[in-house]
Chains A and B, each alone.
Chain A
């Protein structure tokens, strides 16, 4: 069983919709990362958080340490948001990332 679980695996939304992607992890972590991978393959780091909430433009990431759960929200979604969103955890005392399997988001005009 993967230590980092994401849901849903696939998500299709209409332009303008509010989107939520969820991530659960089973071990203690030092930080939770949200990554974006576009069809070309490149990976962009969106957020790194260890508590609370972070916001960047239309993207919001939250984490609940007690519940071992994080969410990525996209407000006013746009077709250019179409990508695979990957949740990754860096374990306490560990330098390596453990990745979820990703959520493929398609935003339709």
Chain B
């Protein structure tokens, strides 16, 4: 157990639907990062939150949004799902910025049918 908890582990949903992925960071970590891993694109950075505020944005689609709550857990919302959104979605946490290393969750495997 890395200390970063992601739920659910697996999710199957239909095109056009909306899903929410949840991440609880390791105790004491203030930063949460979301990454997408697909077969054709590899791992890509989506978005980072630090202590409730958005800190950095990567290749995140407009159909996707995220937030970090006061208890520091984070949710990634994916809407109007397309087949191409099928991927592994990872959450990682760190104490602050990138100088402190990352701890990854076990990922949520999303399948859009």
Q: Is the CB of A45 within 8 A of B56?
A: no
B69-77, B78-86, B104-112 - interface stretch: B104-112
Provide the bound-state CA to CA distance between A102 and B101, in Å. 19
Which of B42, B97, B107 sits near A43, CB closer than 8 Å?
B107
Interface centre among A45, A95, A101 (most CB of B within 10 A): A95
Which of A35, A88, A96 sits near B56, CB closer than 8 Å?
A96
Q: Is the CB of A95 within 8 A of B107?
A: no
Near A by CB (< 8 A), chain B positions 3-38 give: 31, 33, 35
Chain B: residues with CB nearer than 8 A to chain A?
2, 31, 33, 35, 42-45, 48, 55-56, 58, 88, 90, 92, 97-99, 101-104, 106-107, 109
Q: List 14 A-B contacts (CB under 8 A).
A: A30-B98, A31-B99, A33-B101, A40-B106, A44-B2, A45-B102, A45-B103, A90-B98, A94-B98, A95-B56, A95-B98, A96-B33, A97-B35, A99-B42
Chain A: residues with CB nearer than 8 A to chain B?
30-31, 33, 35, 40-45, 48, 86, 88, 90, 94-99, 101-102
